[in-house]
Copies of this chain bind each other. A is one copy, B any other.
């Protein structure tokens, strides 16, 4: 399988924490990186810290990352798609995906979201290893060309990230649970404690490590959250409703002294937290699945997001077009232990596949 992650020319629009880290990571791996920012001083600083080779546009960039705030993502992605050659691909890093993907039906665009870093730090926190071991969600749609997906997947994998493929809507539902509502809850707990501290000066001196851990994310940059809440309001409201229901049940059981119920809830949480994966684990043995597919749009998104929903990580992916042009073969590299799960899932959708081991 040839690699599309061979270093070449890359462009970055938006040089904050993620854009700056991308620049450092790509340049460390031999890429030539050109970048721009709506704030010329920030772009100049990115150049200064070695995150960029040059400030400006690069019409020859093979891959462009849009790393602006989400409100500017669609316009900047469209501009890049217009500017670039027909072989170039564009991706973004916005934290909410359905709105961006719904506005950008283009074969050379695939949405993305690296689950790393914190807006709090800005360019000063940029780190060439920010993405090592991090999950990087890609959100292909029926418009996404397989080559676009494979290129972006291979480049971000080469930076150390583990790619998970989800539909834009699935992504938004899941991040409401593991990111947006936890953040809003942390802020609410912090404000409750702060209001209590107004009444009793000693309160915050009693805040030990557990409280500090729990509220740490509330120190993050507040400015991004009105956009996030607006872009993902349905999923956030649904998750807040679930949380409100569970906390109301907790309140009733504390009030009634239901020790067995409380112990059960806390034991389940402890087991779940202890088994939370500490980071992506690279499989020791890989397998290659070859899936004959009709050469039409939508197949790539269907198959990669099926893998995501089965918890199967796609380590590498290529599409081989047949000479006749009507059918191709999608080649997926997955952990050997996951191959049969994915084969069964594919069979349920009507795809036959053959599996082979890899060294």
Residues of A within 8 A of B (CB): 115-116, 118, 134-135, 137, 162, 164, 166, 170-171, 173-175, 177-179, 181-194, 196, 200-223, 225-226, 229-230, 233, 236-237, 239-244, 246-248, 250-251, 254-255, 257, 259-260, 262-263, 265-270, 272-274, 276-277, 280, 308-311
User: Known interface pairs A200-B170, A229-B262, A263-B223. Does A205 touch B280 (Cβ–Cβ under 8 Å)?
Assistant: yes
CA distance A171 to B203 in the complex (A): 9
Flag if B206 contacts A115 (CB, 8 Å): yes
Query: Contact partner of A179 among B116, B183, B211, B248, CB < 8 A?
Result: B211
Query: Contact partner of A202 among B174, B212, B230, CB < 8 A?
Result: B174
Flag if B265 contacts A187 (CB, 8 Å): yes
Flag if A276 contacts B236 (CB, 8 Å): no
Q: Nearest 4 pairs between A and B by C-beta? A: A201-B311, A187-B269, A222-B266, A226-B259
Flag if B270 contacts A218 (CB, 8 Å): yes
Flag if A190 contacts B309 (CB, 8 Å): no
Query: Contact partner of A233 among B135, B216, B243, B257, CB < 8 A?
Result: B257
Question: What's the least CB distance linking A218 to chain B, in Å?
Answer: 4
Question: What's the least CB distance linking A89 to chain B, in Å?
Answer: 23
User: Known interface pairs A194-B272, A203-B177. Does A222 touch B263 (Cβ–Cβ under 8 Å)?
Assistant: yes
Closest B residue, CB atoms, query A134:
B208
Closest B residue, CB atoms, query A341:
B201
Question: What's the least CB distance linking A65 to chain B, in Å?
Answer: 19
Flag if A174 contacts B196 (CB, 8 Å): yes
CA distance A269 to B222 in the complex (A): 9
Which of A192, A244, A257, A277 has the most chain B CB atoms inside 10 A of its CB? A192
- Other than the given A201-B309, A214-B217, A225-B262, 11 more pairs (CB < 8 A) read A174-B196, A182-B189, A185-B214, A186-B214, A192-B243, A205-B277, A219-B270, A220-B270, A225-B266, A237-B255, A240-B250
Which of A181, A274, A309 has the most chain B CB atoms inside 10 A of its CB? A181
Flag if B190 contacts A273 (CB, 8 Å): yes
Flag if B268 contacts A194 (CB, 8 Å): yes
Closest B residue, CB atoms, query A170:
B200
CA distance A220 to B272 in the complex (A): 11
Flag if A185 contacts B135 (CB, 8 Å): no
Closest B residue, CB atoms, query A257:
B230
Flag if A206 contacts B188 (CB, 8 Å): no
Flag if A222 contacts B182 (CB, 8 Å): no
CA distance A196 to B265 in the complex (A): 16
User: What are the residues of chain B within 8 A of A219 when measuring CB–CB?
Assistant: 270, 273-274
User: What are the residues of chain B within 8 A of A204 when measuring CB–CB?
Assistant: 178, 276-277
CA distance A220 to B265 in the complex (A): 13
Question: What's the least CB distance linking A78 to chain B, in Å?
Answer: 25
User: What are the residues of chain B within 8 A of A218 when measuring CB–CB?
Assistant: 266, 269-270, 272-273
Flag if A213 contacts B213 (CB, 8 Å): yes
User: What are the residues of chain B within 8 A of A210 when measuring CB–CB?
Assistant: 118, 179, 182-183, 186, 216-217, 220
CA distance A171 to B192 in the complex (A): 16
User: What are the residues of chain B within 8 A of A170 when measuring CB–CB?
Assistant: 200, 202
User: What are the residues of chain B within 8 A of A209 when measuring CB–CB?
Assistant: 116, 118
Question: What's the least CB distance linking A221 to chain B, in Å?
Answer: 7
User: What are the residues of chain B within 8 A of A196 when measuring CB–CB?
Assistant: 174, 177-178
Flag if A193 contacts B222 (CB, 8 Å): no
Query: Contact partner of A270 among B173, B182, B221, B259, CB < 8 A?
Result: B221
